[in-house]
Amino acid sequence: MNNFSNKHSLPLIILFIFSLPNIISAQSSPWELTTSKNDIEVFTRTNSDCKIKEIRIQTLIKTNLDNLFTVLQDVAEYPSWVYKGAHSKLLERLDENTFYYYTASNFPFPFSDRDLVVLSKKWYDENTATWHSFSKAQPDYLPEEGGMVRIQAFESRWKIKDLGNGTVQIDYEATTDPGGMLPAWIINLGITTGPTKTMTALKEKLEGMNRPTSLTMKK
């Protein structure tokens, strides 16, 4: 059984985790635009506490919040749009907006595949009419699996705003260290590839949900 089974201590534990100093909030350089294509802008910047660059993606998606949150919370289906996703599973749901999940990623030979355990929480800011989501690696939640490298450092933030015209604005930031023997300079060469392909696939998946099916067209 996991270490967080004591329900009375969960609120304090969650508060502690999300109040820890964040990788993303460390001293960082200004964002630099690296690519802009298909309404997806990708930025990177360096961080004083980590040799691996942070990444930021901004985009507009023709969708609605219901569809977006349905996809984002369907953990088992992450491999259908997350780049190099092998399999994912929900581990524990603490409440409607907070859950632990596990995900594994395929890495090219000769590198070992990676896995990641995450605690994710979302909330709504009425002052800005914006949904926020913050995710942080919890590497000790599950025992490590043989043949996999457990990712120790990962943080991501989503800012999601419904623009009211069938369009949702997304501002995504992330930083991670895949661990293992990969040097930072090699990681930085391809740091934008996975997140950009993931966001592109998410955009295509959501906008595909808007298209009428053949059955709908016949009615």
Domain ranges (residues) in the chain: 22-209
Q: Furthest-apart CA pair in the chain: how many Å?
A: 59
CB-count exposure of residue 30 (10 Å: 0-12, 13-18, 19+):
exposed
- Tell me the pLDDT tens digit for each residue of 77-131: 999 999 999 999 999 999 999 999 999 999 877 778 999 999 999 999 999 999 9
State the CATH class of domain 22-209: alpha beta
Q: Do residues 80 and 92 lie in contact, with contact meaning Cβ atoms separated by under 8 Å?
A: no
Structure tokens at 165: 């015209």
pLDDT at 212 (0 to 100): 59
pLDDT at 13 (0 to 100): 39
Q: What is the mean pLDDT of each run of 10 residues along the chain (219 residues)?
A: 42 39 59 93 86 94 96 96 95 96 89 93 97 97 92 96 95 89 72 91 93 46
CB-count exposure of residue 79 (10 Å: 0-12, 13-18, 19+):
middle
CA-to-CA dists, residue 50 to 23, 36, 114, 119, 179, angstroms: 8, 25, 19, 21, 12
pLDDT at 180 (0 to 100): 73
Structure tokens at 74: 């369907």
Total-model pTM: 0.82
